[in-house]
Amino acid sequence: MSEAPGEAASTQAGYAGVGVAPKPPAGEHLVARTGDLKPGEHRLVRINNIELGLYNIAGNYYAVHNMCPHQFGPVCQGVIAAKSVADESTGWKTEWVKAGEVLVCPWHGMQFDILDGQSLSDKNLRLRTFPVRVADDEVWVLLKGRRTGAAA
């Protein structure tokens, strides 16, 4: 069962198409080299006061705020998992989808889709996501995105 790509994913694709900007836009920060993170790996990055998790999922990069909108736990310190689904298309049987794309908050176990920050259990909760741009071997994050806690 596939899902529509999230905003972070489409934004990233757009940025990737821009290529190397001569001068990075204001608020853009170099956070990694592409060789630093293999697919399936992630790292915590601190930019000024903002801590975020940078994830390489199947070669695409995603950045999410390390702040769970539930009780403000360090969500990026949680494990990465899959999503259990059961609906008409699966005959109401449990199947596992989005393996490697689900973040589990270590405080209370709330699960989020890393691709768009959406909570899997509460449609009103979302992780704040940040646009990511890859230029040559550089991974840049733009510190501008949705506010934590509010749905788009």
Partner 1 sequence: MSNRELLQGRRSGKPAGMRIIDVDIHVNDPPQALVPYCDANWRESLAMAGQGRLGYVDIPGYAPGGLKPDPRMPGGHKRRSVNTKEEMREELDLLGIDEGVMLPDNLLNFASLSHAEYATAIGRAYNRWLAAEWVDAELGLYGAVLAAPQDPQDAVKEIERYAGTPGMIGVFLPTAGVYPLWGHRKYDPIMAAAEAARLPVIFHSVGFVGSAFPHNQEQFENHFGRWVLNHAFGMMANLSSLMHTGVPARFPKLRFAFTEAGIAWVPLMKWRMDRAYKELRKDVPTLKELPSVYMKEQMWFGTQPFEEPAIPAEYLETVRHTGEDNVIFCSDWPHHDFDHPSAVFSMPMAAEQRFKIMGENAVRLFDLPALARQIPVKTLEVA
How many binding residues for partner 1 (CB under 8 A)?
Answer: 26
Restricted to residues 91-130, the positions that interact with partner 1 (CB under 8 A) are 96, 102, 104-109, 111, 124
62: three-class secondary structure by DSSP: strand
Residue nearer to partner 1 on the CB measure, 72 or 137: 72
Distance CA 124, CA 130 (A): 18
Tell me the longest C-alpha to C-alpha distance in the chain.
Answer: 52
Amino acid at 1: M
Rank residues 81 and 135 by Cβ distance to partner 1 and give the closer one: 81
Other CB atoms closer than 10 Å to residue 123's CB: what's the count? 9
Question: With binding defined as CB under 8 A, does residue 82 bind partner 1?
Answer: yes
Find all residues with CB under 8 Å of 121, minimum gap 6, and list them: 110, 111
Stretch of residues binding partner 1 (CB under 8 A), selected from 45-53, 56-64, 126-134, 137-145: 45-53
The smaller minimum CB distance to partner 1, of residues 104 and 135, is found at 104
Distance of CA 125 to the CA centre of its chain: 14
Residues that bind partner 1 (CB under 8 A): 49-51, 66-67, 71-74, 77-79, 81-84, 96, 102, 104-109, 111, 124
